[in-house]
Amino acid sequence: MPILEGQDVTKYFGGLTAVSHVDFYVNQGEIVGLIGPNGAGKTTLFNLISAALSISAGEIRFKEQKLNGLKPHQICKKGVSRTFQETKVFGNMSVLQNVLVGAFFGSPNRVSGADAAREATQAVDFVGLSAMSATPIQDLTLVNQKRVEVARALATRPELLLLDELMAGLNSTEVSEAMELVTRIRDTGITIFMVEHVMKAIMGICERIMVLHHGEKIAEGTPREIAANKKVIEIYLGEETYAGS
Amino acid sequence: MDITRFISTHKKSLLVAFLVLLLIFLTTFPLYGGVYHVRVLIAVLTFVILAASWAMFSGSTGYMSLAPAAFFGLGIYTMCVLEKELPFLIIIVIGGLVAFAFALLVGLVTLRLKGMYFAIFTFGLVVFMSELINYLEVALTGTHGWHITPLGNTTIFYTMLILAVVTVLAIYFIRRSRLGLAMNSIGGNEDAAEHMGINTTRVKVLTFAISSMFMGAAGVITAPILIYVNSSIAFSTYYSFMPILMAVFGGMAYLYGPIIGAVVFAYLERIVRNEFPDYFMIGFGIILVVVILFLPNGLVGLVPELRGKLGGVIAKLRKGGQAEPHANT
């Protein structure tokens, strides 16, 4: 049963088609990966789902409700939360305050101060940052700022979490920790849709992978199928092995 | 060292005591202050209201409004038009509401503009209001400017004092409320705020209107001091720039920053202007440049910095020269 569905999703930037007639679905409880070369339209697709950008054509449905035309704050309240490729934290606040914003405003219902505080503390704890709760966010490393973004998104009590390159710039220990974090989030019942370049992570935790190239969906399947897909190897994975050798 | 410990343990009661003393001083001031100083204090209170309400919106959301004069002037003109029709107190409320409604309208149209564009628009608004009112005035009444019956200094002083207290209290509670958190998150990163479920447009428009409301009400109370008002007096850019300078000078991270900035700046201005009417602005210019260069967080930004330095010195003295353990060992 898909929790998120897209039909014929298209986005034009002037004459450029950033996302072209893409159909996709994410099932309840799944971890789905979205990969593709730089400029393939992955982040654009996320921006269309979270309504950071308006859709040019097609339709996106969450729990069978149309998301077209909604504002980002309404999408969040429906239960879709996200992190950003380039971290967007509230630079003027502490770690806990950052997460509190999500806890206070992310739910469709009015949240009391005590509930929000509890929710935020739990979320900070969940990503393993409770020791830094009172630290100004500016003093954190990029890795930890990304974790705060995850905590902030979790504090909104989402059903679907969009993770945009959570693991970019992490070393291999940190990647393993992040993979473990993502799995733990899924185990709490939250569905995950993630853009990622780190193949180890994608292949390791995703149940299904979608590949975008020049805004078009060129492949979809289990990690094993994708790893064996000729077209994907030629366009995307090939580059990696090439670069690695 | 005992004194510092005493201060930190009794922080709250000391603050309350200080506020009570301040309030007693202010409420009794007209009894012994003399006309001139009462006038100075009225100006100080006016700028406290303008600077604090400007910082409430612009300081926390990061949207630089150059429009305080537009709403202040609107208040002054509300008084001109209604002076003979209604009691003073009711006009103050109406002046606040007029400014609120006008800011709501302006906000809905312009708060989609970001950065520079919003600042430029709000600056244009002051000039536009001045011209528009000037035109309307001549077209409707055939005359230029208004005479306002002066009210006693003491009456104006006490009304302004009450408005200042109400404004500061309101801002105190707003800063601590969900609305305050929402405003801060817009200042921190508007995109992220929007994605965390905050209706950023609504928050911006509403808080812009609330801050303008206090400015409008202050304008109503100021009108009787001016005695004669025309559109270039009421909508003078002086009332836009001074509160901003004061808030920047005082520092915007804390509620008391703009207040202290307004008190110091407005008081100095009155005194220095009397002594050196030709040069006082040069002095202010220099002070402002120095503050922006060396105190990016304003006057109140000095406090935590000094405390940090002092704390370090005290800790060193206590340890009696013991080598500090290194963080990496």
In a shared domain, residues B153 and B242: no
Q: B105 pLDDT exceeds 60?
A: yes
> Residue B146's CB: how many other CB atoms inside 10 A?
22
Q: B313 pLDDT exceeds 80?
A: no
Q: Say yes or no: A135 contacts chain B, CB-CB below 8 A.
A: no
Query: In this structure, which amino acid lies at residue A182?
Result: V
On whether residue B16 sits in a domain, the answer given is no
Strand partners, A24: A6
| Contact assignment for B181 to A104 by CB distance below 8 Å | yes
DSSP string covering B55-92: IIIIIHH------HHHHHHHHHHHHHHHTTTS-HHHHH
Query: What is the pTM (predicted TM-score) of this model?
Result: 0.88
Domains of chain A with bracketed CATH:
2-79+158-242 (3.40.50.300), 89-157 (no CATH)
A contact residues 99-128, partner B, Cβ 8 Å cutoff: 100-102, 104-107
pLDDT of residue B50: 96
Nearest by CB to A156, which of B182, B196, B199?
B196
Residue-wise pLDDT tens digits, B11-53: 888 888 999 999 999 888 888 888 888 999 999 999 999 999 9
pLDDT of residue B320: 57
Residue from A74, A81, A92 to probe the interface with B (highest B Cβ count within 10 Å): A92
Residue B170 in contact with residue B137, Cβ under 8 Å?
no
On whether residue B322 sits in a domain, the answer given is no
Rounded Cα–Cα distance for residues B289 and B295 (Å): 10
How far is CA A235 from each of CA A18, A210, A239, rounded to the nearest angstrom? 17, 14, 7
Rounded Cα–Cα distance for residues B229 and B80 (Å): 8
Phi and psi at residue A72, to the nearest 5°: -55, -40
Q: Say yes or no: B184 contacts chain A, CB-CB below 8 A.
A: yes
Q: Residue B200: list chain A partners with CB under 8 A.
A: 73
Least confidently predicted of A78-87, B61-70, B134-143, B162-171: B134-143
Confidence band (pLDDT; 50, 70, 90) for A188? very high
3-state SS, residue B238: helix
pLDDT of residue A245: 33
Q: B321 pLDDT exceeds 50?
A: no
In a shared domain, residues B167 and B183: yes
| Contact assignment for A156 to B197 by CB distance below 8 Å | yes
| Contact assignment for B192 to A90 by CB distance below 8 Å | yes
Phi and psi at residue A191, to the nearest 5°: -80, 145
| Contact assignment for A101 to B195 by CB distance below 8 Å | no
Residue-wise pLDDT tens digits, B217-239: 999 999 999 989 999 999 998 89
To the nearest whole number, what is the mean pLDDT of chain A? 90
A86's tokens: 């380039």
- Residue-range definition of the domain harbouring residue B148: 57-236
pLDDT of residue B328: 44
3-state SS, residue B320: coil
Residue B220 in contact with residue B83, Cβ under 8 Å?
no
| Contact assignment for A90 to B178 by CB distance below 8 Å | no
In a shared domain, residues B77 and B111: yes
Rounded Cα–Cα distance for residues A182 and A184 (Å): 5
In a shared domain, residues B94 and B169: yes
On whether residue B224 sits in a domain, the answer given is yes
Counting the structural domains of chain B, the total is 2
Q: B329 pLDDT exceeds 70?
A: no
In a shared domain, residues B64 and B94: yes
On whether residue B158 sits in a domain, the answer given is yes
Q: Give the percent of chain B with pLDDT over 70.
A: 96
pLDDT of residue B143: 84
Rounded Cα–Cα distance for residues A144 and B292 (Å): 32
Query: In this structure, which amino acid lies at residue A125?
Result: D
Q: Residue A71: list chain B partners with CB under 8 A.
A: 194, 199
Strand partners, A11: A19
On whether residue B93 sits in a domain, the answer given is yes
ipTM of the complex in this document: 0.90
> In Å, how far is A72's CA from the nearest CA of chain B?
5
A151 exposure class (CB count in 10 Å sphere: 0-12, 13-18, 19+): buried
Residue B68 in contact with residue B48, Cβ under 8 Å?
no
A105's tokens: 């405003």
> Crossing angle, helix B178-188 and helix A95-105, to 10 degrees?
120
On whether residue B5 sits in a domain, the answer given is no
Residue B150 in contact with residue B241, Cβ under 8 Å?
no
In a shared domain, residues B205 and B252: no
Q: Residue B188: list chain A partners with CB under 8 A.
A: 89-93, 98
Residue-wise pLDDT tens digits, B241-270: 889 988 988 888 888 899 999 998 888 888
In a shared domain, residues B224 and B76: yes
DSSP string covering A23-51: EEEEETT-EEEEE-STTSSHHHHHHHHTT
Confidence band (pLDDT; 50, 70, 90) for B1? low
In a shared domain, residues B224 and B244: no
3-state SS, residue B166: helix
Higher pLDDT among residues B182 and B309, named by residue: B182
Q: Say yes or no: A94 contacts chain B, CB-CB below 8 A.
A: no
Sequence-ordered alpha helix ranges (H) in chain B: 2-9, 11-32, 35-54, 60-61, 68-82, 88-110, 116-141, 153-176, 178-188, 190-195, 200-226, 231-234, 238-250, 256-275, 280-294, 298-319
Rounded Cα–Cα distance for residues A211 and A232 (Å): 7
pLDDT of residue A118: 94
In a shared domain, residues B213 and B268: no
> In Å, how far is B182's CA from the nearest CA of chain A?
7
Q: B323 pLDDT exceeds 80?
A: no
In a shared domain, residues B91 and B117: yes
Q: Which residue do the tokens 């208004």 mark?
A: B146
Where among B236, B256, B277 does a domain terminate? Answer: B236
Rounded Cα–Cα distance for residues A136 and B285 (Å): 33
In a shared domain, residues B151 and B263: no
Residue-wise pLDDT tens digits, A88-136: 999 989 999 999 999 999 988 888 989 999 999 999 999 999 999 999 9
| Contact assignment for A81 to B192 by CB distance below 8 Å | no
pLDDT of residue A235: 81
On whether residue B29 sits in a domain, the answer given is no
In a shared domain, residues B133 and B209: yes
Nearest by CB to A105, which of B187, B188, B196?
B196
Closest residue, chain A, to B61 (C-alpha):
A92
Count the alpha carbons within 13 Å of A148 in the hemisphere toward its beta carbon.
31
Confidence band (pLDDT; 50, 70, 90) for A239? low
Closest CA to B239 of B38, B75, B95: B75
Q: A234 pLDDT exceeds 90?
A: no
Phi and psi at residue B314, to the nearest 5°: -60, -45
> In Å, how far is B253's CA from the nearest CA of chain A?
9
